[in-house]
Amino acid sequence: MKAAAMIKKKICLLGAFAVGKTSLIERYVQSVFSDKYHATVGVKVDKKEIRVADQEVTLLIWDVQGEDEIQKINANYLRGSAGFFLVVDGTRRETVEVALEIAQRTVDAVGEIPLVVLLNKTDLEDEWELGADEMEKLSARGWLIARTSAKSGLGVEEAFQHLVVKILSS
């Protein structure tokens, strides 16, 4: 009997600069966290093999440079994506608006694909700026929202599992 072919899926982490995209990937792939900030230039690709619902899946995880007023995400990085994370920094309210803009441009570039919103930096909740208005802007879209901390690891593994399950069932 032939072994089932391994499934490969590309996922992207998108968001404003310094929201924790690289740290989330390092936590998920290598189980590490560094307090040092290193801006991603362009894109960095990591790989992780996982098992979901009795299927072997290879994730190609694209860490796309953060976006600001000057530097926008290159749509070419998004091509071929099976799903993506929109990462929001809970300590910076403006990252919600950036995420909403990125989501629209991503849909324009690659169509409707599964996404999960990550409210990152829950370890700094006493410094959070996100209120009911920002939460409503995100939840009104019907998106799955997960609270994560790259520092402690809270919710990171589960968020990746949720996205992969959504991808495999779409």
Q: For the chain, give the mean pLDDT.
A: 92
Would you say residue 131 lies in a domain?
yes
- Percent over 90 (pLDDT), the chain: 75
Residue that is written with structure tokens 């968001």 in the block: 15
Residue 134 contacts residue 106 (beta carbons within 8 Å)? no
- Residue 150: CATH number of its domain: 3.40.50.300
Q: Is 158 inside a domain boundary?
A: yes
pLDDT at res. 3: 55
Within-domain flag for 1: no
For 79-89, the pLDDT digits (tens) are 999 999 999 99
pLDDT per residue over 10-32, tens digit each?
999 999 999 999 999 999 999 99
Domain span including residue 119:
7-169
Task: Please state the pTM of the whole predicted model.
Answer: 0.92
Does residue 86 sit within a domain? yes
The amino acid that residue 14 corresponds to is L
Q: What is the mean pLDDT of residues 37-58?
A: 91
Q: At what angle do helices 21-30 and 156-169 cross, to 10 degrees?
A: 90
